[in-house]
Structure 1
Amino acid sequence: MATESTTNESMQAQLQRGGIVGGALLALLGVLALFTPFITGIALSILLGAALVVGALVHVAAAFSAGSARSVVWQVLLGVVYGFVGISILSNPILGLTTLTVLVIAFFAAEGILQLVWAVTGEGSRVWLGISGVVSLLLAGMLLVGFPASALWAVGVLFGVDLLVTGLSMIMHGRTTREATSAETPAEAAG
């Protein structure tokens, strides 16, 4: 039983260290993305294009087992759309990056409007929803006013910020968990 407890503690320690190391790597990637937003945006655009091409192949493959003729037609049509968009993005990643930026602007605008409506009509912490809605609309406006130049940096910066914040939160979570585990271990040994 003591061996099992020691093994569990060892595994927990390894997981905590892994979370801290993983968080540090994500934070580092986030900083790199912030310093190279255009390259990051192009890489994300290429990744999206490749994912769409793979999706096209999956839809075409699914057409062979679709059953009815109608299902086959829909699967093939979806495959053609996925393939066309994926190949278009891969052949011109900057156009893909511009499209991603337009989608980000639309997302921030829709999110801001919905949060403001919720803040006015909903219940709960309406002030924070309202603030979040205003910030989202300001971000959408900032990107829209700077468009198309904002397409060169917006996606990369936003992705970099997300990686940095996620990495830092993983580090802090790992440290907090490790401190809590360290505080519990002496108390359990005494009891």
Structure 2
Amino acid sequence: MSIPDDTNLNSTNPISEAMEAEARKYWKSLLFEGILLTVCGLAAILLPVVASLAITVLLGWLLILSGGFALALTFWSRQSPGFWWSLLSAVVALIAGVVLLLRPIEGTLTLTIIVGAYFLAEGVVTVMYAIQNREKLTERWGWLLAAGIADLLVAAIIISGFPGTALWVIGLLVGINLLFGGASMIGVALAARPR
């Protein structure tokens, strides 16, 4: 058994040092962005129906933009292999975007079904992984099991309340994500603030 060298224990990672220097340099912009994300997250939590519809409309525009760019690139490189598949993919993105913009409530319903299915699948996979590897992950398998059960509970709430949950679930989940992301960014900014 070898004893670790003290120089290796005290050495720092140059990448993390560079990241810390950048965080100290731009801590105010990190703080501003964190506050902005937190406010947006709180707004989405307080107005989940509005947030759900706004996210659906934003996704519609993103699909139209990406489909339009893909269509242009497909015709620009029409001699390349897979032209017809690329064309089909671009057209599907354009149609999906237009449908989401023209029928945002139905789009929100569809997104809610997808989110519910995701949480259900993620929960089952995480629970099975935790159970199967409980002997290898002796200290962590309980956390994995808890995360899987939490995913299954979220899926149960979404699915059991459907279609009513479609009005608020997307906005609420995005709001929670923004809130935690903003709070963590505020924490990083305050920790990086020059003393």
Instruction: Please indicate, yes or no, whether the TM-score normalized by the shorter chain is above 0.5.
Output: yes
Task: In structure 1, give the amino acid aligned to 2:38.
Answer: A
The residue correspondences of 1:98-113 to structure 2 (distance < 5 A) are 98-113=109-124
The aligned counterpart of 1:56 is 67
CA distance in 2, matches of 1:108, 1:134: 10
Paired with 1:47 and 1:176, the residues of 2 have a C-alpha distance of: 33
Can you give the 5+ residue segments of structure 2 that lack an aligned partner in the other structure? Answer: 1-19
Q: How many residues align?
A: 171
Would you tell me which structure has more helix in proportion to its own residues?
1
Pick one of 74, 78, 83 that aligns with 1:66: 78
Question: Is the 8 Å Cα contact of residues 37 and 182 (structure 2) preserved in structure 1?
Answer: yes
Q: Is the 8 A contact 2:23 2:189 kept in 1?
A: no
SS at match of 1:147: coil
Q: CA deviation at 1:12?
A: 5.4
Q: Give the partner amino acid of 1:128.
A: W
Q: Secondary structure at the match of 1:67?
A: coil
Paired residue for 1:148, among 163, 172, 190?
163
Q: Give the TM-score normalised by structure 2.
A: 0.82
Q: Normalization by structure 1: what TM-score?
A: 0.83
Instruction: Determine whether 1:36 maps to 2:47.
Output: yes
**1:132-187 deviation per Cα after TM superposition (whole angstroms, max 9, x unaligned):** 00000000001100000000000000111111111111111211222xx53xxxxx
- Report Cα offsets for 1:16-69 as digits up to 9, x if no partner: 12111211111011111111111111111011111111122122212221324x
Residue matched to 2:188: 173
Among all aligned residue pairs of Structure 1 and Structure 2, give the percentage whose two residues are the same amino acid: 33
Q: List, as ranges, runs of 4+ consecutive aligned residues in structure 1 with deviation greater than 4 Å.
A: 9-14
Structure 1, unpaired ranges of 5+: 1-8, 183-191
Secondary structure of 2:79 counterpart:
coil
